[in-house]
């Protein structure tokens, strides 16, 4: 480790750290994947499995990222070098993770742009009161319109850059903390409304009760895989987006304690999204779906049937836009700081350069559903977005998680004792010092993540049951 680690800006408040880091984790996977996968995978049975994997895998892996960040006071670009400067091979992990952050933003900014556009349309009333056919056509028209997609994506990146250029305390913390609190208030209001609708109990039963028929239908192996991968989707671990906020973290509280709180908050948001969606859908006899179809078609059909649908639709897309924007801000911050550390430029210059760089990367993704629709890497229905998501979600996230864990437990990395000292610094939950804990990280966690990687390939190219 370098003898002189520079002093680094830290969060003004502990609440700011928790909400900003949770804001990075809370994203679209929580909203349009978790509720549907829960209902499809056996309801409460899936939730129990997910919580088990969250405790056994999610919290330890998040703690690894936070510990590396806090000890090094660096982003993913320089953290390994700072902690083990004599082992240059770890730089490969840094460069791959930085590339992954750029790829992630290339398509996440486009999807966030769709939400921003729909948020505008619901507030103006342009898509409230239209027919089901027109709802489908509206989304198809957006997919066919590269100009609107690019403009919306660039607008999202511009907003995120405006926040990040002001720094941690004056920009990110000041913006994300009230946004997250506001989003939670909106969600609570919508839950009360959704659960008070006639017929809501059927939706709650579908969502919350164990459904063995659903488990048998898709297969127990698929349910296990869904629960495992949801941990990665929900927490954004393995690529360095969490690590950047570990580098701003104080040493007053133990990392396990803070990681636990962040994971709980992230899970609560995902769970709350289901309490909004399922009771409403069942009340109006609308079949819930997954992914973009849920957000851009199913929920719009629902709001058009609901009294005061304009209000509830506006609130729904506002909370979705906030969830997406907080994640964009977090990942853009990781990119900006990583670029600054690699090329020794100030925050302002790094922000400008990366705003244009990520905007350029978003263009082929936006064109993937129209001008470049002939590019179908995984067959009919796939696109440039599918390819980039496969590279990040099925490769860089699990591989990054494996390498970070190995860095913390191996002698050619940072080493177990250094990791243990860092993670237990501060008040709160401590990690036991027994060797069995190291073996748990080194073998169990690594082997499970390897299994996720291998099964992910099998699922994409063959399909599992």
Q: What is the pTM of this model?
A: 0.93
Collapsed DSSP state (helix, strand, coil) of residue 221:
helix
- The pLDDT value given to residue 3: 44
Q: Among 226, 206, 204, 202, which Cα is nearest to 214's?
A: 206
Q: Which of 356, 16, 26 is nearest to 171 (CA)?
A: 16
Angstrom distances, CA of residue 261 to CA of 21, 313, 387: 10, 30, 33
**pLDDT of the residue at 305:** 85
Residue ranges per structural domain of the chain? 14-461
- Give pLDDT, residue 212: 86
SS percent in the chain: helix, strand, coil, step 5? 75, 0, 25
Cβ(263)–Cβ(24) below 8 Å: no
Residue that has been written with the tokens 């390498």 in this structure: 403
Instruction: Provide the CATH number for the domain formed by 14-461 in this structure.
Output: 1.10.4160
Cα-based distances in Å from 47 to 36, 61, 194, 267, 297? 12, 19, 21, 10, 26
pLDDT in tens, the chain (465 residues): 544 445 678 898 999 999 999 988 888 778 777 887 887 788 888 888 999 999 999 999 999 999 999 999 999 999 999 999 888 889 999 999 999 999 999 999 999 999 999 999 999 988 888 888 999 899 999 999 999 999 999 999 999 999 999 999 999 999 999 999 999 999 999 999 999 999 899 989 888 888 888 888 888 888 888 888 888 878 888 999 999 999 999 999 999 999 999 999 999 998 999 899 889 888 888 877 666 787 888 888 888 888 888 999 999 999 999 999 999 999 999 999 999 999 999 999 999 999 999 999 999 999 999 999 999 999 888 999 999 999 998 899 999 999 999 999 999 999 999 999 999 999 988 999 889 999 999 999 999 999 988 988 887 888 665
What pLDDT score does 464 carry?
60
């Amino acid at each position: 480790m370098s003898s002189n680690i520079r002093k680094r800006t830290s969060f003004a408040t502990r609440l700011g750290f928790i909400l900003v880091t949770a804001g990075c984790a809370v994203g679209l996977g929580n909203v349009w994947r978790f509720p549907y996968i829960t209902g499809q995978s056996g309801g409460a049975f899936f939730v129990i499995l997910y919580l088990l994997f969250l405790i056994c895998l999610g919290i330890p892996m998040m703690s690894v990222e936070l510990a590396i960040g806090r000890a090094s006071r660096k982003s993913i670009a320089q953290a390994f070098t700072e902690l083990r400067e004599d082992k240059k091979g770890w730089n490969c992990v840094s460069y791959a993770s930085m590339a992954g952050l750029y790829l992630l933003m290339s398509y996440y900014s486009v999807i966030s742009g769709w939400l921003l556009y729909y948020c505008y349309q619901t507030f103006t009333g342009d898509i409230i009161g239209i027919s089901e056919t027109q709802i489908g056509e509206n989304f198809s028209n957006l997919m066919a319109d590269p100009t609107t997609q690019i403009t919306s994506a660039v607008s999202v990146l511009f907003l995120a850059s405006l926040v990040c250029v002001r720094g941690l305390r004056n920009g990110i913390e000041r913006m994300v903390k009230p946004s997250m609190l506001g989003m939670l208030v909106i969600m609570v209001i919508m839950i009360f409304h959704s659960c008070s609708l006639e017929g809501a109990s059927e939706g709650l039963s579908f969502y919350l009760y164990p459904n063995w028929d659903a488990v048998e239908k898709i297969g127990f192996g698929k349910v296990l895989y869904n629960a495992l991968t949801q941990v990665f989707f929900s927490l954004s671990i393995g690529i360095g987006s969490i690590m950047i906020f570990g580098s701003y973290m104080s040493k007053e509280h133990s990392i396990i304690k803070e990681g636990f709180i962040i994971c709980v908050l992230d899970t609560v948001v995902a769970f709350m999204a289901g309490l909004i969606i399922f009771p409403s859908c069942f009340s109006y006899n609308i079949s819930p779906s997954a992914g973009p179809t849920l957000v851009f078609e199913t929920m719009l059909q629902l709001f058009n049937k609901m009294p005061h649908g304009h209000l509830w639709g506006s609130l729904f897309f506002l909370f979705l836009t906030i969830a997406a924007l907080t994640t964009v801000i977090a990942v853009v911050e990781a990119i900006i700081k990583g670029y600054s550390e690699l090329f020794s430029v100030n925050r302002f210059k790094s922000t400008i350069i990366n705003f244009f760089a990520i905007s350029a990367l978003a263009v082929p993704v936006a064109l993937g559903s129209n001008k470049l629709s002939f590019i179908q890497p995984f067959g009919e229905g796939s696109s440039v977005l599918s390819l980039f998501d496969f590279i990040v979600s099925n490769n860089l996230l699990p591989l990054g998680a494996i390498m970070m864990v190995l860095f913390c437990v191996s002698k050619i990395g940072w080493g177990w004792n250094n990791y243990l000292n860092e993670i237990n610094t501060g008040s709160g939950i401590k990690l036991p010092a027994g060797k069995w804990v190291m073996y748990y990280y080194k073998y169990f966690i690594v082997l499970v993540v390897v299994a996720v990687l291998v099964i992910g390939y099998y699922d994409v190219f063959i399909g599992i049951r």
